[in-house]
Amino acid sequence: DAGITQSPRHKVTETGTPVTLRCHQTENHRYMYWYRQDPGHGLRLIHYSYGVKDTDKGEVSDGYSVSRSKTEDFLLTLESATSSQTSVYFCAISEGQASSYNEQFFGPGTRLTVL
């Protein structure tokens, strides 16, 4: 398995509080991604990073921010959590075009509940 971990694995929080999810990799892959997965919507890209301090928005970025100060860590912050952000969050890593298949390797997921 690719060396990718997410923390916390489960979190319950209240509406209006800030929440930070952490993704850590030991593969030295250039690209890192944050997705959310909800029933009926599949995986939706929130933000992604193509290098240290280089990030870009995905299709559902409102209400989320990210930071990548080191190759191995990619943080996702919910600035003021809302119930609509209750979801399972997946982090993924990729070597990009350096890999023949450009495949993504996914972390185990974080289940977030906003009450």
Partner 1 sequence: SQKIEQNSEALNIQEGKTATLTCNYTNYSPAYLQWYRQDPGRGPVFLLLIRENEKEKRKERLKVTFDTTLKQSLFHITASQPADSATYLCALDMDNFNKFYFGSGTKLNVKP
What amino acid is encoded at 98 in this protein?
A
At 85, list the tokens.
């952000």
Nearer to partner 1, 44 or 67 (CB): 44
Tokens linked to 68: 């990548």
Residue closer to partner 1 (CB basis): 57 or 80:
57
Please tell me the distance from the alpha carbon of residue 18 to that of residue 27, in angstroms, as a whole number: 29
Question: Site for partner 1 (CB under 8 A): which residue of 8, 18, 51, 96?
Answer: 96
Answer yes or no: are the C-beta atoms of 113 and 15 closer than 8 Å.
no
Residue 19 Cβ, how far from partner 1 at the closest point, in Å?
20
Looking at the Cβ atoms of 25 and 104, the one nearer to partner 1 is 104
- In single-letter form, the type of residue at position 30 comes to R
- Choose between 56 and 80: whose C-beta lies nearer to partner 1: 56
DSSP label of 100: S
Applying the rule CB under 8 A, the residues between 35 and 94 that interact with partner 1 are 35, 40-45, 48, 50, 56, 58-59, 90, 92, 94
Among the listed residues 3, 65, 86, 105, the single contact to partner 1 using CB under 8 A: 105
Task: Report yes or no: 88 and 111 within 8 Å, Cβ to Cβ.
Answer: yes
Give residue 34's Cα distance to chain centre: 2
Smallest gap from Cβ 14 to partner 1, in A, equals 25
